[in-house]
Structure 1
Amino acid sequence: MRYEGTIYRPPGERHSYLLQATVGCSHNACTFCGMYKDKVFHVRPTADILEDIRMAKAYYGDLTRVFLCDGDAIGMPTEDLLRILRALYEAFPSLQKVGIYAGPCSTLRKTPEELRALRKAGLTRAYLGVETGSDTLLRQIGKGVDGAQMLRAGVMLREAGLDLWAMVLLGLAGSGAGLDHAGATTELINRMKPRHLSLLTLVLEPGTRLYADWREGRFVPCGPEEILEEVRYLVANLTVDPLHFTCDHASNYLPLKGTLSEERERFLAAIDAALEGKRKIRPEFSRRV
């Protein structure tokens, strides 16, 4: 298969064929993110993408899952995405799921009718990097939207029938402000009502603006206890039910995975044990993005 630059995908797409539809991220301005810095965003020619599908057909024969890269493929022209989806389902008779990263700005540029057309054509799952529900923090990290716009993007995706997977970044507010971040984020997620929620923990990446802020004393990272308190607040106060909840990314101090509200008490007991020093957490040196 043909790819430009470093390729990223959600952990849940580890068994998917990765089809690069766009190169890079159309926004690519978040202060914490070190991804796609080796690329200039552009949409690949549709003819090249269709040729890649033919190549994948010749190599794999049949597939059940596909993920459309890169970081914001939802921003492609809708007609091009529809053409790609038709080609995928024609090439792979067993295809069941097609996922995509959906940036909030690009999502908001779509109409509800366009999103419904994409779902009808076979786009099944959208991953939305919510990061936080705080307007102040969204502005500080350069996300390009406020909380109301982020909420609208998520609701648009969900109401179009897409399987919405939201992602939140623990520790983003820095030391001393974590519970404000957790509170605003919990409120947003409860209103957005995604089917899946993943918590990741901030890892400062060299070359990012947030890394520079840390080195120059403008940002103080949260310690493990503060991160666990953020997780605890979210687990205790999320009301979306059922919610597929994951906090088991390599960046997290305490791996948790299951369904809320069904496993709320188990999660809270594990977090409390970690806070009390009765349960080991992942050491700092082993945390990776």
Structure 2
Amino acid sequence: MANQQRNLAPDSIFQRFLTSVIALLSQLRERETWRTLWHWLLWRTIPKRRRILRLIQELQPLHPNAPPEMRALRDEVFAKSCLELKRPEQEQILLDTLTHTDQPLGFEQIFFAAIYPALLKRDMVTSPITTETAHRLDIEIGYLGHNEDYFFWVFEIDGAKRLTLNTPLNPRMETREDKHYVVYSLGSSGLVDTDFAEYAEQWLLDSPRLTIALPLLAAAYADQWILNARLYLSHILTDLKKRNYQITAVTIPDFERARLSLLRRLSLDRLRKRRLLSERRNR
């Protein structure tokens, strides 16, 4: 019996090695694998890396109930978002906003870090709202409209609540002083099925080797998290547009509200005409 076990041991080791090689070759055939490796190597060489790493060290530790791989994933999404930001103060604002989460699970911070550069590109400003609810990040998002009037809405991002791309929106209306605004109560976990166990099984990684591989796995998952979070953000912005933003001063008379609506439509018409002219010139 002992001789049989000794004979089986080399075969088992060889079989595991062969399976790992086959899995590696199958992954190398995919373009996404090479893209992930390229981004990972690029991240290790860019000059901006040191400043971002210092900011990552200032992020809060996650709640003990958070999955062990969430820290690597959160740090990776944060780093990728910082790379999109043009000024260091924007990176600091993102860091300060994320630290307003009480006992973070990681999902809520990942969601906001992923959409923050997209909000800035739309000339929107963000400010955190203090809340004592655990695992939640409340954010006010706004912009200056016509007549320098400030329009805003609120995201309540819950790290313990599930969210998928098919999750329907269920906003509510609230009033602050003379303003109506929309509140979106959002989940954040579930946008991407981060099954690290499946990767571990595929690559036959034991626990220590999986820990070493976590940064690379996080880099592979981070892009999908960012993409899905921004897709869901586009759903929210579309919903706001359908509501005509419903963020208007209560005290504005009806004729003034109609005038603002007309100005908004005229500006959109002018924008369309400019685009048509530019397209014709480029032909």
Give the TM-score normalised by structure 2. 0.26
Higher relative contact order, chain-length normalized (CA < 8 Å, sep 6+): 2
Between Structure 1 and Structure 2, whose CA radius of gyration is higher?
2
Richer in helix (by share): 2
Give the TM-score normalised by structure 1. 0.26
